[in-house]
Structure 1
Amino acid sequence: MMRTLEARARALFRDYSQRSNAALHAPERADLDALAGAFAGHFVGASPAGVMGGAKDASFPEILRRGFEAYRASGGTRFEIINLEVEMLDDCNVMVRADWEFDYLRPRNGATGTIAFRNIYFVNFAGGEPKIFAWITPDEAQAMKDHGLA
């Protein structure tokens, strides 16, 4: 059972990474409903900016779309998970450490670079399907500033 949950969590994040990168590259073909489908009906996120929570409603795919627009506007060229660590918490929940890379071509001067960061996600399997219900992220806005993208 535990190995099955780990494998399913890994599959969820492989798909999430592929869809995120695709949304960055081809917004007109992005499957934002599928990206939104990775999340539970209610969720919470924490970062150095604070804690937020919400319900996944009909506006959630639009929020995702605006996020990918902002990444493109900042020069984003690749947005992928390069490593996953999955920790079983119990028979229904896992913690996933996802190492992301965001490559960019800085619009103002053509410089290239990569922002590497780790997000921590909590995934629940109630109802059979893995759903992200919480995450912890580093200071994305500061990382963008540090790389001259904001």
Structure 2
Amino acid sequence: MIDKADVQKFFKAYGKVYNDAVDGNVDMDNFGAMYSTGFVSVTPAGVMAGENGKQFQDMMRKGFEAYRAMGSKTMTCKDVSVTAIDQDHCVAKVQWSGEYERKNNENVTIDFEVDYLVERRDGSLKVFGWITGDEQAVFKKHGLL
């Protein structure tokens, strides 16, 4: 089974990569290495499947630019719970806390969770999917969009 401590360590590192990206210092190869060869994204907008590669990295780079433009400052992994699927797969429910700065310079903290589908591939943990709520609605509610 995938060890909970390994998953927690992985998402602490994931948070650091996210924060580096929001600061404009992302190594997209390093970020891409955290994802499997293919993935599925499930949001209220629908289900999307994709492959890890240049197109994915370009999409993520644009996403980080959008987060930065709307005031994202830092993301902190607060907690991780793990539900095993089998020997090499699990669902990681990650509690995140995001710090944002509104256009009027007021700071806001938004706590949320994301369910990640995680696999062990070639000895490393990799994300192969995620399930999220409606982040756009949350950002609007908090005056970030």
Normalised by the size of structure 2, how large is the TM-score? 0.92
Q: Deviations over 1:76-126 (max 9, x none)?
A: 11122111112222111111011111211101x122111111000011114
Q: CA deviation at 1:128?
A: 2.2
Query: For 1:53, which of 35, 49, 54 is the aligned residue?
Result: 49
Distance 1:101 1:31 in 2: 23
Q: Deviations over 1:40-93 (max 9, x none)?
A: 111001111111111112222222111111111111111221111122221111
Aligned counterparts, 1:1-150, within 5 A: 2=1, 5-25=3-23, 27=24, 29-107=25-103, 109-150=104-145
Q: CA deviation at 1:34?
A: 1.1
SS, match of residue 7 in structure 2: helix
In structure 1, the gaps of 5 or more residues are none
Retained in 1: the 8 A contact 2:74–2:98? yes
Runs of 4+ with >4 A deviation: none
Distance 1:131 1:53 in 2: 16
Count of aligned pairs between the two proteins = 145
SS, match of residue 9 in structure 1: helix
Greater percentage in strand: 2
Over aligned residues, Cα RMSD in angstroms? 1.4
The letter for the 1-side match of 2:9 is A
The letter for the 2-side match of 1:101 is S
Distance 2:4 2:111 in 1: 24
Percent identity, aligned pairs only, is 34
Retained in 2: the 8 A contact 1:41–1:55? yes
